[in-house]
Structure 1
Amino acid sequence: MADSDYRSSGRPASGSILNLKMGERRATLSRSVVISPYSASRVPISNIALMRQIIEREEFVGMAEAEYEGQKAMAKVIPENAVMPIAWGYFQDDKTKAWFLTHFRNLLANAPKISEFLPIVRQLHEKSVSPTGKFGFHVTPFYGPPPMIVDWTDDWEFFWTREFRSGLQYAQKMRGENPELMEVAEEFIEKVVPRLLRPLQTGGRTIKPSLCHGDLWDGNIQMDVDTEKPMVFDPCPFYGHHEMDLQCMRSPRYNIGYNFVKEYAKVGASQPHEDFNDRNALYAIRNDIMTAGMWPQWASLLDQAKEEMRRLIAKHPEGLAGFEGDITPNDIRE
């Protein structure tokens, strides 16, 4: 979430201390404060550097809780590469504004080496466990300005299609009605989506709901100057198919790009392996549509998304019927 129109951030100004017991999730804020993460008593903390983020538009106040819950979930799984947050809350006298507080880290905007970053992403995906065993998240995350739909479900195809349709609506709201886009998208949803996603959970194949960062592009991946380790932050968290976390890396506009995707495929591709590249293209289409909606300068990505959908439709014209493997529902097989 890099849109300065809806969120500002920075290190906290000096001020009074609002005491917060460890483990508390919420507090109220009436002015610039420093919060002690270590004690419930009033103590000087001049040697502790903290970072605050202030959300000043009412429609986005939920971002504070989503940021807190996402960072907390990641820090439990990759503690050396994600910062455990401190607190979030609303302003005491103005519930249309919210804040998020975490430890300040001195970061350098350098992309890590693939060999260094790949094990971290794998650990996030493999070691995380959905609290419900389903796809979704317990609070609403934001993919930039628009909120995601993350109600819990066992069906990954349903989860992704629901979010894809929401993204199409958002892009049209921001860039105008696009009948051609919607026509292509409907055929894409009818043919390509079931062809590529349903085999993940049929024929005895399964995928576990993994914690996904959700917005894993190089702007949210930087190097910690002090520890010399990659750090990830600013998540759009949900438990989903881990390959969706590669959605930003297919495009050459990102520094951490397709070379990472190819290396990840060698160690983390789901069955059927032969569909990995097309699944990555499918997930990347959603990212392009959302990016076009968020940023006017990237509106041309809608045309690129249409062409990529047409390419996949041409490759899979029969839809699910064209899949040559077993697509027996797993509950019937059992």
Structure 2
Amino acid sequence: MTSPTALDGAILAALPAGGQVLSVKRHGKTNWSTGFRIDVVIDGEKHEYFVKIVAQKEYVGMSEAEYEGQSALATYIPDNTVAPVAWGFFDRDTSKSFFLTHFRHLSEDTPSASDILAIVKKLHLSSASPTGKFGFHVTTFYGPPPMINDWTDNWEEYFTRQFRANLVYAQQERGEDPELQDLADEFIRKIIPRLLRPLQTGGRNIKPTLCHGDLWDGNIQIDVKTKQPILFDSCCFYGHNEMDLQCMGDPRYALGMDFISRYKDEIGASEPRQDFYDRHALYAIRNNICTAGMWPQWAPLLTTAKEEMRRLLSKYPDGFDGFKEEVVCSC
């Protein structure tokens, strides 16, 4: 689709009234969506838009998800997001959908760790769930896998149901793995409660924070005009802020564990603080399982996930029953 006349009527209706479409050019593609730049003249002035088209019926909800997620992010970090314009279903075929935003000229250079940290800090400290619960008001997508965003007061419940669903997805894509499933069953029974239940017991609690949900260097680029880092391709939910770091610690990402430690030092770790790095490992396991399911070349990450699960099971063999409150000397 490179001709203005090829644009679906729903997309044309979402553009400003009275505008003339000059050109439609391909701009980016994933396995589940295709992007186009649309140049429009309005009252003699040129404007640029970006539309992402989801043409596979099973992923049609992605457009609404991105619209709602980016809208939520723009509430707290308006200078650092791709602010949405519209979303909708095609007039000609409601099994297809689109997400429309203003086009930004982005540099692929990764912003500095300090700049990213400042934005993430602002997002995590200033945002709050509209319901006071964990979840989101629409289904969002971590690539193809949907997030189970039903509202809940319990973070352990939210994460556990997502972890289970991601295990199913990975094995649907890469084949059944009895070793992985047996290991994961014990992991779910012992390690998830051990690392997440203390966040909301013993007088402790955590605030449901707006998370970008897929925060890694590939989804953060620099606006050539404003010089500001821009966060895009979100998978938003209100959750434990530390889960937003799930993609950042592994060596395959640009930021690495130094960024994780800087986050801990500047923004702080949830109590119990001594579990911070193991909670990060838990969230990273979930990311590795999803990534292995999405991309065949990353299938070996399932082995990495198994190794990490074994490590944590060895460290916490008694699960939550082995949790001991940290004793602080008042002398």
Give the alignment's TM-score, normalised by structure 1.
0.87
Which is worse superposed, 159-168 or 44-53?
Answer: 44-53
Aligned to 2:213: 214
Supply the distance in 2 between the matched residues of 1:269 and 1:81 (Cα, whole angstroms): 24
What percent of counterpart residues are identical? 59
CA contact under 8 A between 2:136 and 2:150: conserved in structure 1? yes
2:8 equivalent to 1:9: no
Aligned to 2:257: 258
- 1:44 Cα shift? 3.3
CA contact under 8 A between 1:77 and 1:128: conserved in structure 2? yes
- 1:47 Cα shift? 2.4
Residue by residue over 1:184-235, the C-alpha shift from the partner in whole angstroms, topping out at 9 and shown as x without a partner, is: 1011111111110000001111100000000001110111111111110110
Residue by residue over 1:247-275, the C-alpha shift from the partner in whole angstroms, topping out at 9 and shown as x without a partner, is: 00121001122111110011231111100
Residue by residue over 1:91-129, the C-alpha shift from the partner in whole angstroms, topping out at 9 and shown as x without a partner, is: 112101111110111111111112111111011111111
Aligned to 2:118: 119
* Paired amino acid for 2:43: P
CA contact under 8 A between 2:212 and 2:234: conserved in structure 1? yes
Matches within 5 A, 1:42-121: 43-44=42-43, 46-121=45-120
Matches within 5 A, 1:218-233: 218-233=217-232
Aligned to 1:319: 319
Supply the distance in 1 between the matched residues of 2:45 and 2:297 (Cα, whole angstroms): 43
- 1:84 Cα shift? 1.8
Residue by residue over 1:16-73, the C-alpha shift from the partner in whole angstroms, topping out at 9 and shown as x without a partner, is: xxxxxxxxxxxxxxxxxx8xxxxxxxx5374221111111111111000000000010
CA contact under 8 A between 2:129 and 2:209: conserved in structure 1? yes
* Paired amino acid for 1:293: G
Supply the distance in 1 between the matched residues of 2:57 and 2:161 (Cα, whole angstroms): 25
* Paired amino acid for 2:67: Y
Residue by residue over 1:236-295, the C-alpha shift from the partner in whole angstroms, topping out at 9 and shown as x without a partner, is: 000000000000012100112211111001123111110000000000000000000000
Supply the distance in 1 between the matched residues of 2:38 and 2:69 (Cα, whole angstroms): 21
* Paired amino acid for 2:36: G
Once superposed, what is the RMSD of the aligned Cα atoms? 1.4
SS for the counterpart of 2:80 is coil
Q: Following TM superposition, where does structure 1 have runs of at least 4 consecutive aligned residues deviating by more than 3 angstroms?
A: 43-46
SS for the counterpart of 1:130 is coil
Structure 2 unaligned spans of 5+: 1-27, 327-331
Structure 1 unaligned spans of 5+: 15-33, 35-42, 327-334
CA contact under 8 A between 2:63 and 2:88: conserved in structure 1? yes
Aligned to 2:289: 289
CA contact under 8 A between 1:122 and 1:268: conserved in structure 2? no
Matches within 5 A, 1:7-46: 7-12=33-38, 43-44=42-43, 46=45
Aligned to 2:23: none
Give the alignment's TM-score, normalised by structure 2.
0.88
SS for the counterpart of 1:95 is coil
Aligned to 1:17: none
